[in-house]
Amino acid sequence: MIELIRKSFKGGVHPPEYKEFTSSKKIEAFPLPKKVIIPLQQHIGKPSEAIVKAGDKVEVGQPLSTSSGYVSLPSHASISGTVSAVEPYPHPLGGMILSVIIEGDGEDKSQERFTLQPDYNSLSVEELKKRIADAGIAGMGGATFPTHVKLSPPADKPIDTVILNGAECEPYLTADHRLMLEYPKEILEGLRIIMRILGVKQGIIGIEDNKPDAIAQFQQLVQSDSSIKVLSLHVKYPQGAEKQLIYTATHRSVPAGKLPMEVGCIVQNVGTAKAIYDAAAYKKPLIERVVTVTGAVQNPLNLMVRIGTPIKSLIEYCGGFAGTPAKVIVGGPMMGIAQFSLDVPVIKGTSGIVVLPEDGWQPVETQPCINCGKCIEVCPMNLMPRQLDIYVKNKLWDKAQEIGIMNCIECGSCAYVCPGGRPLVHSIRYGKYTVLQQEKASKN
């Protein structure tokens, strides 16, 4: 069944899409990299612990680290070769993170060839979750929360609805769009595995209506399955944010400070669903993902890339920069992070590499707030960004908490519409970090 959804969440913005660069380009396999850098933290939670050392020979899919706790994930070798170092290395989310560096042998050797396991449909729920955990799967929409944890809600939080997020509302990015067009059966099977694990009888696939080909494809595949429906979502940013997607799809409002499980929902990205299928059916760890390389590059592409590949290699493969770049962003331009080095690697949450051109892009000179209220109008979380900014700048942390600073999803809508070019998201992000540090200190 297909439904056209026009009722949507409050606020949000409509930035130019810029998806035409890559939306029609099929996923292309990126050549085997000569070297990969595998960070031991590519997920929310505790970093994993290395189980290899310099000089060790490794093969594709071999664990390089082990989980250091329940909310943690192992990392795996994405190429075969020799470990040259286990040392801190620049990370796309900032800072230096302990990483395993592998010099490839060019042979792509693997003990496990990831062949279909015919018995996967007969596995117990716990066995399925173990395969997902062992595969190191984190949310591939960008949040990178360990998937096996998300699929293990407390007994007092029953789940009745699973929502697959195919919105891909960030400008420029088309990785999920192409994945839905080229791997729809695998994504759908991943959804069914998720529903089985959670004991859920209702699945929803939400796709923005600027992707009519993906909507039509899934509609055809589920037309005889009454347990799954396809929602055609109105194009609005941040439609793909969990709480906004849940409200749009079910009209349930997740309470401030709470998780989707509070209203009986679990949301997974379409890429995560495919990775779940690969893990369950093929025992394949998360060693590659689709990355959109776009913007001011000579030949924008959607690439299937091994985890750990330096982003510099992807840009070179796409013909290099088209003109002088102003910024290179990992992720989308609204929530992505501008990079200080092109040596940083692709990680599990890397959905895109967006190059913004220097020509035609000028940083806005910050102006004082004029109290226009636009940031409040567009905030999808019903916050007051300008007031939060004032409290942060004056270090009034208690007041910032009182008006909901921790509920900010950092979508960037407020900064996008601010006529004064004020860096509201940066300010609020700093405030959230400070509040968290104070809370940790008070517990010690």
- Contact (Cβ atoms closer than 8 angstroms) between residue 382 and residue 11: yes
pLDDT in tens for each of the 444 residues of the chain?
556 555 678 999 999 999 999 999 999 999 999 999 999 999 999 999 999 999 999 999 999 999 999 999 999 999 999 999 999 999 999 899 999 999 999 999 997 779 998 889 999 999 999 999 999 999 999 889 999 999 999 999 999 999 999 999 999 999 999 999 999 999 999 999 999 999 999 999 999 999 999 999 999 999 999 999 999 999 999 999 999 999 999 999 999 889 999 999 999 999 999 999 999 999 999 999 999 999 999 999 999 999 999 999 999 999 999 999 999 999 999 999 999 999 999 999 999 999 999 876 666 688 999 999 999 999 999 999 999 999 999 999 999 999 999 999 999 999 999 999 999 999 999 999 999 999 888 887
> 209: which residues sit within 8 A by CB, 6+ positions away?
4, 215, 232, 233, 234, 235
Question: How many angstroms separate the CA atoms of 145 and 151, rounded?
Answer: 11
CA 362 to chain centre: 28
Question: How many angstroms separate the CA atoms of 140 and 344, rounded?
Answer: 18
The burial of 408, by beta-carbon neighbours within 10 Å (0-12 exposed, 13-18 middle, 19 or more buried), is given as buried
Per-residue pLDDT at 334 = 95
Q: CATH 3.40.50.11540 spans which residues of the chain?
A: 2-24+115-282
Angle subtended at Cα 164 by Cα 180 and Cα 309, rounded to the nearest 5 degrees: 55
The set of long-range contacts for 184-187, using a CB threshold of 8 Å and a minimum separation of 24, is 184/214, 184/217, 184/218, 184/221, 185/221, 186/273, 186/274, 186/277, 186/278, 187/270, 187/273, 187/274, 187/277
The two structure tokens encoding residue 367: 């102006």
The two structure tokens encoding residue 335: 């929530």
CA 242 to chain centre: 11
* Amino acid making up residue 70: Y
Packing angle between helix 175-182 and helix 184-198, nearest 10 degrees?
Answer: 90
2-24+115-282 has CATH 1.10.3720.10 classification? no
pTM: 0.95
Radius of gyration of the chain (CA): 21
Question: How many angstroms separate the CA atoms of 30 and 299, rounded?
Answer: 14
* Amino acid making up residue 422: R
Pairing of strands 228-233, 2-5: parallel
- Contact (Cβ atoms closer than 8 angstroms) between residue 75 and residue 345: no
- Contact (Cβ atoms closer than 8 angstroms) between residue 268 and residue 147: yes
